[in-house]
Amino acid sequence: MTTAYAGWRGRVQCAIGLVLLAFTMLAAPAFAQATAPAPRTVLVLGDSLSAAYNLRAAQGWVALTAERIKQARPGWRVVNASISGETTAGGASRIDAELKRHRPAVVVIELGANDGLRGLPLEQTRANLKRMIRASQASGAKVLLIGMRMPPNFGRDYTQGFERTFSDLAKQHKTAFLPFLLEPIALDRSAFQADNLHPVASAQPKLRDHVWSKLLPLLK
């Protein structure tokens, strides 16, 4: 082998090595990105109680829960699909599209308060909640059903039947269940805005902690 040939061969091998090194450096980030697991999603379907009514979005219990999940359960995210004024009928009409869009691993259903305040038939509320639960479970998601209660002026039969709607559905469909979202603050007038319906910002962490007790076991 001549000295000139050996030098040429060495230069070619060096060039090939540099090209391979450059390709490896460029491909590595793309490969890492392609193989990184997608975050699992908690989808919240609620009404104004979950939509941070009259507050900044970041002050609501759902946003506070999202911040806690970032710290306690990396790899999870929260999507808040709550709408102020939403009824169970609205949630039932949206559920399929929301499941398709977000593909959640957990669905939190916080709906029914507006049904009750409007005195809508309990059978209608039950049917709508059932549809949301079944659709969520059929998609492979776990469900946390959050209950609500009505004030006594709606009459004993209606208020008791309304409350039982949530507990009966949770038992029937074996969902996680929080009986009453507002339980930690229900007797504290200062925890509510002037309408006496929507919690103030300072009460939102209590709601977050209350929901967290039932949500955390689902984040596995």
Kindly list the catalytic residues: 48, 195, 198
Of 97, 160, 175, nearest to 129 (Cα)?
A: 175
Q: How far apart are CA 107 and CA 40, in angstroms?
A: 11
Q: How far apart are CA 63 and CA 81, in angstroms?
A: 12
**Across the beta sheet with 176-178, what order do the strands follow?**
76-80, 40-46, 106-110, 142-146, 176-178
Q: How far apart are CA 4 and CA 22, in angstroms?
A: 27
Q: What letter does residue 199 receive in the DSSP assignment?
A: B
Who contacts 86 (Cβ-Cβ below 8 Å, separation ≥6)?
A: 46, 47, 48, 111, 114
Who contacts 177 (Cβ-Cβ below 8 Å, separation ≥6)?
A: 144, 145, 147, 166, 167, 170, 214
Query: Which secondary-structure segment (H or E) carries 108?
Result: strand 106-110
> Quick one: how far is CA 68 from the chain centroid?
13
Residue with the two structure tokens 């491909």: 27
